[in-house]
Amino acid sequence: MASSRMMLALQCLLLTCLFVAQGKKSSYMILADGSPLQLNQLFRTVANGYGISFDGWNEDTPCQLQVVKANHTFYWTSAAYDTVQELTDPAAGFEAECTVSSVGGSEFHLKDVFRPAARISTNGFKFSRSITVLKKGPYEVAFSSRFSLADPAHLQATGAFVDREFFMPGVWYLDGRGMSPNEAIAADVGSSAVLVREDRLPYPLVLTRNPESNKVAVLSHEHRDGSTFANEGGTETIIDGRMQFGSIGALNAAGMLKLQFQFPGSEGDRTYVKDANGSTDCEDQNCWAYRHHPIDINVIHNYSLQFYTKQEPTYEDAMRNAWLHAYYTSKPQAPTLSPADLQQVYRDSIDLLSNMAEFWNGVPSMPFSVRLDDGVAEDHSSQMGFIGSATPAAALLLRDAANTKSTRNYQKAVAIIDFWVEKSMTDSPQPQTWFDPDFDKMGDVLWRRGPLYHGHIRIACEGVLGILRAWQIHPQRKSWLDYARKYGDFLVSKQDPAGDFGSQFDEQGNIVGRIKTVAHIPIPLLVALYHATGLQRYKEAAILAGEYTTEHVSKNMRYLGGTCDNPDVLDRETAVYAMHAFLELYDLTRNARWIGYAEDAAFFSATWTYIWDVPIPADSKCEYVNPINGSVTLEAVAYPPNRTTLGAALIALGHSHVDNFMAKTVGHYHKLSEIGSEPWRPFFASFSAFLRSATKQVLDWDGSLGYLYPGLIGEAASLADNRGCGVRRWLPWLTVNMLEGIVWNYEKGNIILDEVPSYAYVRTSGLCANPTGHENQFHAQTIPAVSEHECQMRCNDIYNCFAYQYESKGNCSTHTQLGLAGSGTWAEGLCNMRIPERRIYEEQACATPPEASWKMMGNVSSPVCAAMCDAIANCALYMVHGDTGCLLAINEIAADTNGPIWEVKGRMCSQKGSIDDNSFIRNWRLSSPHGASCDEVCRSAGFTCRPDAFSTNRTAKQAKSFFAAAGINCSVVRETSSRGTPLVHMDDLDIDGRNARLCQYGKEASGCSHAAELTQHRLCPCHGAAYGSVLDSSR
């Protein structure tokens, strides 16, 4: 009976015959669209068993193993299925099994289960494989397996991949021709294999489309583990059962196209994995990085795949629908953030920018690179746009100051913008974009003029747009608008009739960069200039650039050239800027055609974003090379191992580093969810919400990452080999992108952050006794789990208030008084909370004093003059006296019966002696020419005074000698302590020949280590800076 069945099976052309001979009905499983998939539509009889045949895609020997010998040579062995049967539920799928014996005596059992694919309206199936090691041969040590299907339509024209179109997210687009750089994994269309580690892919799938038949096939890895061990890397063969990631891609087998998944994830015939010499140069080599599991009965070797075929009229349709299928089937779930969480993210990010903004060597600066653990700036250079983002950061600080009336953030933002406006513009006219402090000359800088960054259109456009946004908030600063117009006119003059600008310019303004795919980058700046000036030339230039971009960028997905350090490379950022540009053009013209182009760029950008979690080994150690001195240290991973990788995004072709750039796009996708094409709006809404939460998890919101500031973020990391390693440093663009993703649509009228912070706590003058009749209106806001220093910092820097209470369990209560502008007096150190207008402090707030009241402060630049005025006198009124010096306004006004006092906005200024870089105390004094006591002067200025106390880490003898050197007669100096900190008390200080008291509040542990004691009085005894730490007295 058995032999007759075998004879019948050999004679049947269809596998169904076998089941008929057994007296069974034809077996089937139900697809997602409800149609049945017959057994003979999935399997076919072959020699020695059964193979797979699905919608024309075939594999006669599905059981394929790569066996590694003891000398690390290897060979492939394969077999057909021994048995194929239906599952218990006949509509649920099929089960196929085989046993593979190697030539060296090893034996393996393979069990494959086929089920209906999810969310597929046409043909598709899920495939789950488990392999059990039955026996280990004496001279064989390792193995891997693969699943592949071959396209019956051979690669016709050239026998190369160019006969097909491909999609692998962040790696392979269209037919691969012209992909840049040349060493990119999929750049060689003549390769025999493009097999990519799945951890390099935002989602592990490979799609191929035949442009002649419009037929599409997609293979993807489902239910991924993805784990590996610490510092796994190198091109040598690795055998380790902890590697639970696969590789996926396409093979060119003598003109036959195969889609393939391999496990664990060997990569070739190009790889970014570095060899023993640290090289990744695979442009002209057959490079492989082999990964295998040991032949061990306990090894875990399981994976699940999905394969489906469709008809798609265009490549764009195929790519978009494959991505949507991946997104909706994977259902990425990032930790959900509440509105309160987003408020905290916003506040932490603004506070970080405020803390980082500093005077370095007398120059207002946003440092280029900061360590995460201790917040120390390693690189004090500053770049106006791109990864430096100094002026966009300043604009965000200014925006916050407009909302919160934060004098601190206002002063820092204005100083930074003023510096760039006054110092960076060239005669071309285009801005210099990157400087180093000149530590040989106080208050001066050295401009970088290297060919890589100088004159790059993206750096300049981002920087100038930051200045223009600052002007939109503070339109009294006409020089800011003039600066932006100069560069805008420069761009218009360089635009050719087709709409292109060039990508880079030399110092004379000549075009030296000929990348033809970045014309859209200036569009947001040009549109903003049109809105600011009403000049048609900016509008016309923006529209012409948009038309050029549709033809030269959008048409063939030529999104390359936007990353300045990866020029002429296909990248995600060029697409993001195209999306932004087209949305701006839609807002400008209300022409719906721009929406379609924005959608194209949005889908392309989305495909670079990880929607699956790649686990990071917590025990990895990474080499970090200091870019300043070249020193090499071992550090923890740059990507937090206790966070998911959801929302991280690949940067560009040629490597596999990811960063948090997509935080910038939350508002863009939200905008498309409102104005985009109806079929795609649900995705745009979902993706915006996904990014809104996913991109925030790299922050230290729970304190588990150990960063000094919760707003710090690591710059970039690898999620493939040497997983988690990268740049464990904060750069300003990270926080700028984070904030722009929160507030961008707020400015457009679409609330992303449910309530952008809108309440300000401002100091009130006359801080004296308890308020009369309003005691019940005091309340406390509790900030959990912070140090006492952080409590004080939050109270002072966020709310401009010294009233706080530190509880033993680490909670911080900041006491405030709601807006009582009427009768009564104010309790010392309390805050008046107001609902601010969306406007900044104006210079006119300081009345113009008579000429005799101007005091010469030395030959300094305008930004330094402003900062000196703000830091010493807390006054926005100043002027530069030609090229010779800085004048500060001193304005007396009549007051109550106590006699003349200083105007609150005008403040008080005078100078005695000279400024010495090494002075312990700077020689600025509070002047009282009409006999008003220092206490009265301080209180009238809104200072919280602690009379007679100056906190220092110096001894009484040292302090007295310093004061004496500064021309102050200290008749009494004695030592006490407060909270363990030495205090020097001065009862009689002779200032300008008059007896007065020097008022100073707070404590001083070492230098200027705390901001709270210094923000009010502005007499900062910092070391090594001629003007003190003007922008952040906490440093």
What is the per-residue pLDDT across 168-195, written as a single tens digit (0 to 9) for each? 999 999 987 767 787 889 888 778 899 9
Q: Which residues of the chain are under the pLDDT cut of 50?
A: 1-26, 746, 748-954, 962-963, 965-1035
What are φ and ψ of residue 121, in 5° steps? Answer: -90, -5
- What distance in Å separates the CA atoms of residue 823 and residue 781, rounded to the nearest whole number? 25
Angle at 20 between CA 19 and CA 23, to 5 degrees: 90
How crowded is residue 628: how many other Cβ atoms within 10 Å of its Cβ? 11
Our CA dihedral for 473, 478, 479, 481, rounded to 10 degrees, sits at: 60
Instruction: Identify the pLDDT of residue 1035.
Output: 22
Instruction: Identify the pLDDT of residue 950.
Output: 38
Residues in the chain: 1035
- What distance in Å separates the CA atoms of residue 702 and residue 712, rounded to the nearest whole number? 13
H or E stretch at 980:
none
Instruction: Identify the pLDDT of residue 1029.
Output: 22
What is the CA 71 to chain-centroid distance, rounded? 45
Buried b (16+ CB within 10 A) or exposed e, 348-365: bbbbbbbbbbbbbbbbbb
Buried b (16+ CB within 10 A) or exposed e, 313-333: eebbebbbbbbbbbbebbebe
Q: Which structure tokens are listed for 10?
A: 């050999």
- What distance in Å separates the CA atoms of residue 706 and residue 236, rounded to the nearest whole number? 35
Buried b (16+ CB within 10 A) or exposed e, 96-107: bebebebebebe
**Bridge partners for 131 per DSSP:** 110
Cα–Cα distances in angstroms (integers) from residue 997 to residues 736, 767, 897, 932, 955, in the given order: 43, 18, 21, 11, 20
Q: How many CA atoms lie within 13 A of 602 on its CB side?
A: 30
The owner of tokens 């490979």 is 206
Instruction: Identify the pLDDT of residue 912.
Output: 25
- What distance in Å separates the CA atoms of residue 815 and residue 692, rounded to the nearest whole number? 32
Cα–Cα distances in angstroms (integers) from residue 528 to residues 120, 197, 481, 743, in the given order: 44, 43, 11, 17
- What distance in Å separates the CA atoms of residue 803 and residue 414, rounded to the nearest whole number? 28
Say if CB 634 and CB 608 are below 8 A apart. Answer: no
Q: Which structure tokens are listed for 524?
A: 């947001």
Say if CB 585 and CB 527 are below 8 A apart. Answer: yes
In terms of DSSP bridges, do strands 291-294 and 238-239 run parallel, antiparallel, or are they unpaired? parallel
Q: What share of the chain is helix, strand, coil (3-state, %, to 5)?
A: 25, 25, 45
Say if CB 419 and CB 467 are below 8 A apart. Answer: no
Instruction: Identify the pLDDT of residue 260.
Output: 98
In terms of DSSP bridges, do strands 63-69 and 445-447 run parallel, antiparallel, or are they unpaired? unpaired
**Residue type at position 761:** Y
Summarised one tens digit per residue, pLDDT across range 754-805 is 333 332 222 222 222 222 333 333 334 444 444 444 444 444 333 333 333 3
Say if CB 264 and CB 246 are below 8 A apart. Answer: yes
Concatenating the DSSP letter of every residue in 101-116 gives E-TTS-EEEEEEEEEE
Cα–Cα distances in angstroms (integers) from residue 730 to residues 370, 382, 630, 702, in the given order: 5, 13, 18, 18
- What distance in Å separates the CA atoms of residue 307 and residue 208, rounded to the nearest whole number? 12
H or E stretch at 185:
none
- What distance in Å separates the CA atoms of residue 230 and residue 664, rounded to the nearest whole number? 31
- What distance in Å separates the CA atoms of residue 891 and residue 994, rounded to the nearest whole number? 20
What are φ and ψ of residue 11, in 5° steps? Answer: -85, -20
Instruction: Identify the pLDDT of residue 116.
Output: 83
Name, in order, each residue with C-beta under 8 angstroms of 439's C-beta and a sequence gap of 6 or more: 361
Concatenating the DSSP letter of every residue in 551-568 gives IIIITTT--BS-STTSTT
Nearest to 614 by CA among 586, 648, 580: 648
Summarised one tens digit per residue, pLDDT across range 801-816 is 333 333 444 444 444 3
How crowded is residue 801: how many other Cβ atoms within 10 Å of its Cβ? 25
